[in-house]
Structure 1
């Protein structure tokens, strides 16, 4: 397998999952800041021009975080990264979709790329502020609906935790936001996991 990633991007969550699984994989750097996602070499891999993308090693490539996470979890059942019961699996997918489809774009892309949401540069600070407000609101929603213990789901650690980790990491390391109690404890528990520590070291990021 080969993960196409950019350091500190949402692909860090898939990187964590690969480390949790423990099978051999390669990393292929896509320097988003340099526009590498728009170059022909990478667009031949993923015409959507974003990360993550996962070359499965069978000649096929997967894109979109929830799909990659689901495929890795289901194709490596021994890793125990998705609930074994149908209801638990559905709830795991529900959290993946909320984090990747709502929290990520409307909470953080608004902050990091305000030009995507407003053509007028003078409006960019408003977009950033709205992104911070949204992120806090989304985190409060997750906090109020928390049904797990240390981990997001009652069944235990899963790929949903790797997804939640990347937005928590952004909130505290890039946005200066505070996390509600369950999410704060969750981030600390994630940072203590060897797979997360290896991922951060490989991507050159601080814990």
Structure 2
């Protein structure tokens, strides 16, 4: 399999999952700094012009972080990244959807790409603050789900792989303070060997 990724993007979640699974895979860099996601070579892989994209063993391509995450967890159940049973699966999908569609796309996109939402340059600071408020609200909603557990659903899962990039961006990109509980959770995730291998491969820290 081949993962199309850009460093420090939401593709980190899938990158972690692949490292947790431990099967051979390839990395294919999509350099956002060179607008590679809009070039014909990548559009032939994913017309959506975004990452992650996963080229599977049969050559077909799967996109969208929740779908890729669920697929990999089901393909490799021995990795233990998705609890069995319909209730556990639907709760995992619920978390993946909220993390990606709300906290990331509604919150972080405003922080990192304010011009997309701002009518004028002068409006961009307001857009950024709105994004920060959305991210903080999202983390405030997800923190009680974590509670006193080590991981969101008790056992480590693909939901934690996704939530990792949310708290990583808060700590390392957006400079949004983490609560004591989320800081401990972030430290716990950072200590995982799979996360460390992902960070090293992407040139992050």
Query: Fold conserved (TM > 0.5)?
Result: yes
How many angstroms does 1:119 deviate by?
3.1
Name stretches of at least 5 consecutive residues in structure 2 with no aligned partner: none
**Could you state the TM-score of these two structures normalised by the residue count of structure 1?**
0.96
Aligned counterpart, 2:161: 162
| 1:51-200 alignment runs, 5 A limit | 51-147=51-147, 149-154=149-154, 156-200=155-199
Aligned counterpart, 1:4: 4
Matched positions, count: 205
- Find the aligned partners of 1:127 and 1:111 in 2 and give their Cα distance: 7
SS of residue in 2 equivalent to 1:145:
helix
- Find the aligned partners of 1:90 and 1:108 in 2 and give their Cα distance: 25
- Find the aligned partners of 1:96 and 1:181 in 2 and give their Cα distance: 23
How many angstroms does 1:180 deviate by?
2.3
How many angstroms does 1:120 deviate by?
1.2
Name stretches of at least 5 consecutive residues in structure 1 with no aligned partner: none
Following TM superposition, the consecutive aligned residue runs of length 4 or more in structure 1 with deviations greater than 6 angstroms are none
- RMSD between aligned residues: 1.0
Deviations 1:100-148 (A, max 9, x none): 0100012211000011112311111111111111111110111133356
**Could you state the TM-score of these two structures normalised by the residue count of structure 2?**
0.97
- Find the aligned partners of 2:146 and 2:166 in 1 and give their Cα distance: 16
